[in-house]
Structure 1
């Protein structure tokens, strides 16, 4: 028994339905007793083997779609980190006692993610209900049975076709949103004597492309620059369009505003007239190399990180305010200023870099600080790559990430 008094291994085995655990490569990691009994396979015949090596399509059925549909569902779970309920499936099973003989079977499957500590899908939970008896409720060979079977199977095929069309439409929307977002994000440009690196990593889910942006604006007077990042609430094409409007508005305001707080106040007013802009977060920093200062203001955004020359990291959280359009009437936003020394670095980012569903943001900020400290002294390009490698899981995340590194 565990410390909680519950033996979860026994709970798994006692599940009344068919339950199996698969690795992200679709290899069996475990299966409960009911799964083995109903499928006619022992645990030894399952564990360590690929799902579709154990359960291929019936070669005698040219219309078999079980493998295609199940693979598509499992890949959606891996991609999005969300559970996926499948329509009724006909998925025949080869007899374990009589190879070459296929049993006509019907299933109601549900696939769900088991998340690992790094926020990625560590295992896939595949649960299925054997509804063959229900489909055959009219009795073998009876007219009622054949009618019910044909109706259920036709409905299942219709649902599968609808799901496939939705998947294709979502994939097309993702492609358009990504193209629009990348077109509106500024390409790296000469920054005089200063060096900076920018990175954008889209979310892995088909509908999860978000409205993250970044901007670097050299100012005409003195040795100054404005650096900003922001994050629009929402996903898909709408979020990308809102992002483009807000990024352009903040870029223009930064060129004429007295400082970062005033620039965000202008953006706050503008956001009131842009549908979907409410609750957007943003942070902007004015860098002044003549005075060696960073002046910043934040609208509900994660704090910029200042990597000091000794490897320590200071999070700039002295001027944090609610997101855009969060108050009935806009008020003066706060600003703060901190000095910097030559050789230090300023890092701005969106929450996709540090937030995960299985941990709070403070843990993500600690990981970011540790990564920056370990790579202190690297040039902006190398530092940006190192941070992404340290903090983003290899399987991707369900939120976009924008990152800006400026050498001070």
Structure 2
């Protein structure tokens, strides 16, 4: 079916609500017709001008806080890259046809970031709903004893209370973010090259999540020229998922040191997961790299298959030893294991489903997309390949699932 060509500039201008676009320097990049009509300003008076030159605070009112509150909200959006909904604001506006006369107006603003490819804020969507007439109407229907001033004071007090609650919530969120970052650093190993074999790792939480997630990676040095590499994915995001992740990663790391191969290590992990709340349906895959025999031995607990990029540019998925996720079976059953050879210079890629899975899309589509991306970078170093995969497979707006990525040159 033919897809219609949408004129988004025309859509923006005709949206039935006041919207303006601001740069990170708080300069108007654009404003739709509803915004100009509401503010009583022309496009020439707005676009290209600093926000608070166009709408300064009332200089005749020392208690005016509209500019200060709006600036704080916009700076939060720029710093955190997250939407900020403001409480009801009183923001006096100078009447364009009567210089020096300031009209008392009430606004309900929402500020949302537009992110660039690197995740930084490139624009701010500033949406404003004006409720001045609603407040005036309620004032007209108030009893003589209360009057407009009493109603205004009540509404303004409620707005200040809401702002204080929002500020406390933001402070709590900031503390939680600090805890999350410290938790991530404590629970995930520092990544390094494996002997003379280059390696790279990327760890990307879901859009809107804290800087920690339920995905993990691990490397375990084993006797001989061998190493076990694993990635896993706990259901959920944030601190709770990260706590489960830490327990499972540590358990698999310990099991890998004593178990006879990846399948046995995952069996031990599955038994342990039954005693960990929140570990149900966790997926994991482990690959044992043996440079003495030039073989990869692997086993998967419901996890997307690792990819082997051969030196000739072809891609092979390690999908011959796949079993259900941890805790999916009521009884213990031995897990499968498979072994394949590799040649020097091949590249092993382990990842979690945030890299390939999208809503309403079959997983085979995501795997084909990954294979296509790998074949376009056959000679890239692990670091360059990791950056290329994230750039090509993760949408600029981010994804709703976490992503861990481990790449090793064999």
> What TM-score do the two structures reach when normalised by structure 1?
0.82
Structure 1 residues 331-342: aligned runs within 5 Å? 331-342=333-344
Equivalent residues in 2 for 1:177-326 (5 A)? 177-188=180-191, 191-202=194-205, 205=208, 207=210, 209-220=212-223, 222-326=224-328
In the other structure, the counterpart of 2:139 is 138
C-alpha distance in 1 between matches for 2:66 and 2:127: 15
1: distance between equivalents of 2:279 and 2:97? 62
Which 5+ residue runs of structure 2 have no aligned equivalent? Answer: none
**Which range is displaced more, 338-347 or 100-109?**
100-109
Structure 1 window deviating more from structure 2 (273-282 vs 156-165): it is: 273-282
The alpha carbon displacement at 1:174 in A equals 1.2
CA contact (8 A) 2:180 2:210 kept: no
Question: Unpaired runs of 5+ in structure 1?
Answer: none
Match of 1:148 in 2: 151
Q: Secondary structure at the match of 1:128?
A: strand
SS of alignment partner, residue 236 of structure 2? coil
Provide, for residues 106-160 of structure 1, a one-character-per-residue CA deviation record: whole Å limited to 9, x for no partner: 1123345678899998765443221112223324997421111111111111111
Report the TM-score when normalising by structure 2. 0.81
Assess if the C-alpha contact under 8 Å between 2:295 and 2:340 holds in 1: yes
How big is the alpha-carbon RMSD for the aligned residues of Structure 1 and Structure 2? 3.9
Aligned to 1:66: 66
In the TM superposition, residue 339 of structure 1 has moved relative to its aligned partner by 2.3
Change (3 A) 1:119 1:172: closer
CA 326–375 in structure 1, closer or farther in 2 if over 3 Å, else same: same
Distance in structure 1 (CA, Å) of the matches to 2:322 and 2:119: 27
CA separation of 1:238 and 1:34: change in aligned 2, threshold 3 A: same
Corresponding residue pairs, total: 406
**Distance in 2 of aligned mates of 1:15 and 1:331:** 58
Q: Is the 8 A contact 1:80 1:205 kept in 2?
A: no
Hey, what does 1:349 align to over in structure 2? 351
